[in-house]
Amino acid sequence: MRLSRRRLVWAGLAAGLMMSVAGPASAQTISYSDAGALLAKSCGKDIEKYCSKVNLGGGGLKDCLSQRESKINPQCVTDYKAVVASLDARVAAQAAVAKACRGDATQFCQGTAPGNAHYLGCLNAAKKVVSKRCTTAITNAGWN
């Protein structure tokens, strides 16, 4: 049974989202779209061969690939680990934006209505004066 590119993208997303957040964000994160495309390219054949009947949610794909790591293309293993680490960093960065940008939002976004990403829009518009800490958090979160 052939896995569609869409299924592989969702497999990558499901795998990344099932991992817990390990710590602070790094300087580079990968988008969910790019993560899925990378995994489709480097892991597609292995997922088809070894994990085609695995439920993509609940960590099933992660478990399947981990159990067969010795049989899987080394590039797939490397890319999978890099994707998971990067997605973990992105999730951590998204969680950290409010704290990292609180002072900047107070200083540069007075009168901005809360909700619907209004503060994020204000901070992105004021990025020339916003602190490096806030700018980095927004960038790592993928929100710029």
User: pLDDT tens-digit profile of 18-59?
Assistant: 332 333 334 468 888 999 899 999 999 999 999 999 887 788
Are 141 and 21 in contact by the 8 Å Cβ rule? The answer is no
- Alpha-carbon gap, residue 59 to 15, rounded angstroms: 6
Burial 45-78 (b: 16+ CB within 10 A, else e): ebbeebbeebebeebbbbebbeeeeeebeeebbe
| pTM reported for the whole predicted model | 0.67
Q: Percent of the chain beyond pLDDT 90?
A: 55
Arithmetic mean of pLDDT, 112-126? 89
Residue-level pLDDT at 57 = 74
pLDDT of residue 45: 95
Tokens 């829009």 belong to 121
pLDDT reported for residue 4: 52
97, pLDDT greater than 90: yes
- pLDDT of 3 over the 70 cut: no
C-alpha count within 13 angstroms, C-beta hemisphere, residue 92: 18
> Whole domain around residue 28: which residue ranges?
5-141
- How many structural domains are present in the chain? 1
